[in-house]
A = this chain, B = another copy of it.
Amino acid sequence: MADVRPSLAVLKSWRQVYQTYNLLKQCQDQICGEYGLTVEQYSVLVVLNYAGGSARVTDIAEWLVHSANSISMIVDRMVKVGLVKRTRDRVDRRVVWVTPASKGNAALKQAHLAVLKFVRKVFQPLSAEDENTFSGLLGTLKYEIMKYSNPELDIKEAKKIDSKQLDSIVKWMSGEQISDAPKAKGRAGAKRKPVRRR
């Protein structure tokens, strides 16, 4: 196996990605649990807000880098417990939108504040420069894995989607935190107007 063995530095990084993710997830699981959400439900609710108030299962899957199947199962459960609603598109009846229910947004409102506080706290030891280096290195690794699983992938396009998503997050984060009464969209691509922060 001499020829496939990664260097010690690679082994260390690989291990650190897993351990760091697991620890992040455990903490977020606990924080979200205090507001009656699993971390997966929290993530779906966040994405619905990021995406402008509603999204299709495939959109959510793209945002969360998950399979549409697993997101569909999470959404099923969320519909059952009243966190989100499924509505058919008014124009194209084949399209189904997932929209937060008021119970979902109420839980998210509280959970999101707690999660952001946690994230800010644990990232505090990293300087702004560290942060940029860190997300740059993670990005390099991410696109390499994307290329590995889909050699046909247009990396330029993937990076464009990425930066568009980040823009939506920033827009949402700088606007009103969570919309109280999101409306089902009439057509694909329609975006909820960002509300100015008071």
Interface of A toward B, CB cutoff 8 Å: 1-2, 4-24, 26-27, 30, 64-67, 112-113, 116-126, 128, 130-135, 137-142, 144-146, 148-149, 166, 169-170, 173, 177, 197
Alpha-carbon distance A26/B169, docked complex (angstroms):
24
> Whole-angstrom distance between the alpha carbons of A177 and B5 in the complex?
10
This protein's copies in its complex: 2
State in angstroms the CA–CA spacing of A16 and B144 once bound together: 13
Check A148–B122 contact: CB distance below 8 A: yes
Bound together, the chains give a CA A119 to CA B8 distance in angstroms of 12
Do A122 and B144 have beta carbons less than 8 Å apart?
yes
Which residues of chain B have C-beta atoms less than 8 A from A132's C-beta? 9
A86 to B101, CA, bound (A): 47
Decide yes or no: A8 and B134 within 8 Å by CB, A1-B177, A27-B149, A65-B23 being known contacts. no
| Cross-chain contact A148 with B10 (CB below 8 angstroms) | no
Residue of B nearest to A174 (CB): B5
Hey, which chain B residues are within 8 Å of A197, CB to CB? 2
CB contact between A4 and one of B18, B120, B122, B123 (< 8 Å): that residue = B120
Interchain CB contact under 8 A, B145 and A122: yes
